């Protein structure tokens, strides 16, 4: 187990290094940071001075080694937009994103598991088909659109919830539901399908035959085995939400987390801040991946960790 | 027992060719799946939506009542025809520049279809090829390709796409490339899995012993096994790409004006959401219905084309029958 975790973290470091390389190459080679960050009317002299200040006039390999060295020491440089350490800005915004993402995923799992289980009890029944259709609708609605519709209905027409911003449960409710809905659709489909598989297994019949109540057989015996694929998917959903969907939902609801910070950094062409955000998100993604693999082992001892 | 004469062998072969190619059998199979489709309402809806999307995208210039980019300051923010102030000139109303919403939605179908198809083709061909090589060759090649897949799957994909699109100038081409770079891994994993499951089958070994070159073994004997799962995966990916394109365009990092995209329309209508609900509602509904249709098509196809899924469905009904 210990060796496995160490190996997984080593692979995670490779991922983080890969992300660093990609971001570096993209921002330095494909795009011209000076052109991107300075206004159009800047003179060649101003451009050269700016490039020199950021060290962009040195050979690209020297720049890269220097960049990796700085990042390894936790120094991402100053944000060009706010002119203070990029990491400091990220620390201020990160808790809000984590609050949004984790509450949304908790909601998704809590809704999707009973949803999928009930559908699996009678495959092909009306209830099952209604559940499938609802799940498909949930995962087909674009989140940015759903968010806007929810704002119009609950914040503008009914005036029961705030339009945007953060603070308290009332602010969290709409973005949380928006972020959770597609995940609910996908997770409940997987729970349903793996539950149908499990309920056809012999151990379920054995458990029923020896007189265990049906609720216990379904809710304990079968659910434990059916939860392995659901767990995998939930982990992916968490990663997807953190490394993408949160940006969209945060922008729609003006939720002041990392996602809307990334949007701001893009709008203001603050590549240094953007690099730091991607790096921090990559670290979280790697950590979640390791945690999922460990959780596997705890749920299903048959899984061989290599 | 004597060996069959060459003549007998030839006749048997000819008969096999004839029976497998009989046109009425193809027709019967087609009619069978059509009948099944009509019975499955959700699948039928999916097929109709996808057909409509293709039809609208191809014939947009003939279907659209107005030029999608023609502005008219006197016709700004006209509501849809059933609201007071609306008329049949602009069935779904006009936007803040007086452009016809219906025409823009019709032209927007082109972008969704173009981006979706291109990404699925690009990522699908690259991913499947790499997966086939990885699974068939094994060894170091396999380790390298799958290592790349595992590493990239762990990347924060959408965020990286945002970074790349914020640096390069966003356009349909750059969106297609970025989304394809982000999506090839699923195909590689699936192709490799199928190769590994059939590689030891007697018919594959037989082909190898007979002396088929690796390329022929993979293309003729292994690839057909991929047809059904690959088709389902490609359709599901298509739905995901349509959503991703809309989201990127909504954030201003995708399709740029004056080109038309549903996601871009929602972004443009966002500022008028309190005064003109139709600017956000209709293009968003177009995305949702399209994606839902594609997903329904995929889920119908998965059951219809996969004998195991059919069996599962049968087993499930048999089980509930016995329990009830």
How far is it, in rounded angstroms, from Cα B249 to Cα A260?
16
Residue A164 has pLDDT above 50, yes or no: yes
B137 part of a folded domain: yes
Give the model confidence (pLDDT) of A94-107 as tens digits. Answer: 999 999 999 999 99
Give the model confidence (pLDDT) of A34-75 as tens digits. Answer: 777 777 777 888 888 878 877 777 888 888 888 888 888 878
CB-CB contact of B305 with B228 (8 Å): yes
Residue A79 has pLDDT above 70, yes or no: yes
Least confidently predicted of A93-102, B13-22, B134-143: B13-22
ipTM higher than the 0.95 cut: no
Among B158, B159, B292, the residue with its CB nearest the CB of A137 is B292
CA atoms within 13 A on the CB side of A139: 24
- Mean pLDDT over A210-239 rounds to 84
Residue A175 has pLDDT above 50, yes or no: yes
Residue of A nearest to B324 (CA): A122
Residue of A nearest to B270 (CA): A148
How far is it, in rounded angstroms, from Cα A171 to Cα A278?
26
8 Å CB contact of A289 and B154: yes
Structure tokens, B116:
């979706």
Domains and CATH numbers, chain A: 86-299 (1.10.3720.10)
CA atoms within 13 A on the CB side of A221: 19
Give the model confidence (pLDDT) of B217-251 as tens digits. Answer: 888 888 888 887 888 889 989 999 999 999 999 98
Q: What is the mean pLDDT of chain A?
A: 85
**pLDDT the model gives residue B320:** 47
**pLDDT the model gives residue B324:** 30
B86 part of a folded domain: yes
B299 part of a folded domain: yes
Give the model confidence (pLDDT) of B243-294 as tens digits. Answer: 999 999 998 888 888 889 999 999 999 888 888 888 999 999 999 999 999 9
Task: Please give the residue that has the higher pLDDT: either A272 or A143.
Answer: A143
Give the model confidence (pLDDT) of B54-112 as tens digits. Answer: 999 999 889 888 888 888 888 777 788 887 777 888 888 888 888 888 999 999 999 99
Task: Supply the CATH number for residue B170's domain.
Answer: 1.10.3720.10
How far is it, in rounded angstroms, from Cα B64 to Cα B68?
8
Q: Which of chain B's residues have a Cβ under 8 Å away from the Cβ of A286?
A: 154
Looking at the complex, report in whole angstroms how far the Cα of residue B324 sits from the nearest Cα belonging to chain A.
Answer: 10
Task: Please give the residue that has the higher pLDDT: either B31 or B99.
Answer: B99
CB-CB contact of B222 with B195 (8 Å): yes
Give the model confidence (pLDDT) of A115-142 as tens digits. Answer: 898 888 888 788 888 888 899 999 899 9
B6 part of a folded domain: no
B271 Cβ under 8 Å from any chain A Cβ: no
B221 part of a folded domain: yes
Q: Which of chain A's residues have a Cβ under 8 Å away from the Cβ of B157?
A: 243-244
**pLDDT the model gives residue A145:** 94
**pLDDT the model gives residue A229:** 81
Residue B1 has pLDDT above 60, yes or no: no
Residue A184 has pLDDT above 50, yes or no: yes
- Mean pLDDT over A237-254 rounds to 89
**pLDDT the model gives residue A147:** 93
State the total domains in chain B.
1
**pLDDT the model gives residue B92:** 87
B289 part of a folded domain: yes
Give the model confidence (pLDDT) of B162-199 as tens digits. Answer: 888 888 878 889 999 999 988 899 999 889 988 888 88
CA atoms within 13 A on the CB side of A121: 14
B106 part of a folded domain: yes
The residue segments making up the domain with residue B167 are: 40-323
B100 part of a folded domain: yes
B177 Cβ under 8 Å from any chain A Cβ: no
How far is it, in rounded angstroms, from Cα B135 to Cα B199?
8
Structure tokens, B65:
């009542």
Q: How far is CA B44 from CA B174, B238, B291, B296, B297, in A?
A: 34, 18, 14, 8, 8
Q: Which of 59-98 (B) contact A at CB < 8 A?
A: none
């Amino acid at each position: 187990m210990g060796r496995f975790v160490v190996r997984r973290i080593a692979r995670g470091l490779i991922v983080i290094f890969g992300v660093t390389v990609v971001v570096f190459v993209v921002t330095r080679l494909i795009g011209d940071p000076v052109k991107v960050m300075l206004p159009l009317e800047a003179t060649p002299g101003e451009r050269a001075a700016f490039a020199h200040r950021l060290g962009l006039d040195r050979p690209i390999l020297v720049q890269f080694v220097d960049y990796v060295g700085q990042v390894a020491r936790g120094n991402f440089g100053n944000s060009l937009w706010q002119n203070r350490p990029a990491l400091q800005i990220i620390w201020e915004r990160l808790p809000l994103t984590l609050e949004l993402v984790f509450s949304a995923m908790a909601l998704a799992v809590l809704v999707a598991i009973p949803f999928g289980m009930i559908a699996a009890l009678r495959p092909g029944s009306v209830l099952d088909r209604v559940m499938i259709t609802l799940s498909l609708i949930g995962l087909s609605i674009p989140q940015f659109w759903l968010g806007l519709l929810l704002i119009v209905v609950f914040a503008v027409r009914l005036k029961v919830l705030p339009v945007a911003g953060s603070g308290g449960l009332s602010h969290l409710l709409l973005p949380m539901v928006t972020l959770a809905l597609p995940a609910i659709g996908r997770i409940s489909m997987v729970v349903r399908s793996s539950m149908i598989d499990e309920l056809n297994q012999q151990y379920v019949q054995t458990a029923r035959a020896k007189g265990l109540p049906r609720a216990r057989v379904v809710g304990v015996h079968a659910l434990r085995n059916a939860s392995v694929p659901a767990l995998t998917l939930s982990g992916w959903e968490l990663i997807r939400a953190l490394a993408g969907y949160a940006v969209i939902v945060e922008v729609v609801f003006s939720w002041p987390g990392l996602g809307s910070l990334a949007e701001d950094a893009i709008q203001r062409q603050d590549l240094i801040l953007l690099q730091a955000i991607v790096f921090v998100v990559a670290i979280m993604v790697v950590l979640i991946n390791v945690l999922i693999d460990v959780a596997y082992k705890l749920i299903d001892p048959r899984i061989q960790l290599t | 027992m004597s060996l069959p004469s060459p003549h007998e062998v030839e006749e048997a072969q000819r008969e096999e060719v004839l029976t497998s190619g009989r046109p009425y059998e193809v027709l019967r199979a087609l009619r069978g799946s059509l009948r099944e489709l009509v019975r499955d309402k959700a699948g039928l809806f999916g097929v109709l939506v996808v057909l409509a999307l293709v039809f609208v995208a191809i014939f947009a210039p003939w279907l659209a009542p107005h030029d999608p980019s023609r502005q008219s300051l006197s016709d700004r923010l006209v509501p849809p025809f059933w609201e007071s102030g609306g008329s049949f000139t602009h069935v779904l109303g006009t936007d803040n520049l007086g452009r016809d919403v219906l025409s823009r939605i019709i032209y927007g179908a082109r972008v969704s279809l173009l981006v979706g198809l291109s990404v699925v083709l690009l990522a699908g061909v690259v991913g499947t090829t790499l997966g086939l090589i990885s699974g068939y060759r094994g060894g170091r090649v396999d380790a390298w390709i799958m290592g790349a897949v595992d590493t990239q799957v762990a990347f924060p994909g959408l965020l990286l796409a945002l970074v790349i699109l914020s640096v390069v100038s966003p356009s349909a081409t750059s969106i297609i490339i970025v989304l394809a770079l982000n999506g090839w891994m699923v195909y590689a994993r699936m192709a490799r899995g199928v190769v590994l499951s059939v590689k030891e089958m007697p018919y594959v070994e037989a082909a190898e012993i007979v002396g088929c070159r690796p390329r022929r073994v993979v293309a003729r004997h292994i690839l057909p096994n991929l047809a059904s799962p690959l088709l389902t995966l490609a359709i599901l990916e298509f739905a995901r790409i349509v959503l991703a394109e809309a989201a990127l365009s909504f954030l201003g990092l995708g399709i740029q004006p004056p080109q038309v995209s549903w996601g871009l329309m929602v972004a443009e209508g966002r500022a008028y959401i309190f005064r003109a609900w139709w600017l956000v509602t209709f293009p968003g509904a177009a995305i949702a219905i399209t994606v839902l249709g594609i997903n329904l098509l995929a889920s119908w196809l998965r059951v219809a084309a996969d004998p195991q899924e059919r069996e599962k469905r049968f087993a499930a009904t048999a089980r509930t029958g016995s329990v009830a």
